[in-house]
Amino acid sequence: MSSAERPQTKSLCQHVHPHCLVPGGALADDGTWLPARGSYLFAVRALSRHFRGRMVNALLSAAKAGELTSLNPGAISALLDALMADDWVVYAMPCVEYTESVIGYLARYTHRIALSNARILGLDDDQVS
């Protein structure tokens, strides 16, 4: 079978990651817009560490409130420690200036899903192939 005839397969493993839009400036106390001095409002490394800390703190709060029911309570601390041990990858793009650019960016991620109807081969009881 040639490579053109071979069906393409992709890994459909869970790959959770957020997409965030960070404004390219900030509001001053008087309400005026202050644009970022460079291409970014925050240094990428600082943003990565801050975001990781906020997310892990939110998970810790949820665990303490008993909201992480799908995790073994004994494993939560080790999981959060592991999350803090690794640097998180933040990919940052320079500020976009036009609403259409932002909408186009978000549309690529909200309307391009892994399990489209064309990729579903069969459905039997609780199994999807």
pLDDT tens track for 24-47: 788 889 999 888 777 777 778 888
Q: Domain for residue 66, yes or no? A: yes
Cα–Cα distance measured from residue 66 to residue 110, given in angstroms and rounded to the nearest whole number: 30
Q: Domain for residue 107, yes or no? A: no
pTM above 0.75, yes or no: no
Q: Domain for residue 101, yes or no? A: no
Say whether pLDDT at 2 is over 60.
no
Cα–Cα distance measured from residue 38 to residue 103, given in angstroms and rounded to the nearest whole number: 23
Q: Domain for residue 25, yes or no? A: no
Tell me which residue range forms the domain holding 86.
Answer: 42-90
Write the CB contacts of 52 (distance below 8 Å, at least 6 apart in sequence). Answer: 83, 84, 87, 88
Number of domains in the chain: 1
* Tokens encoding 99: 């609403």
Q: Give the SS3 label for residue 27.
A: strand
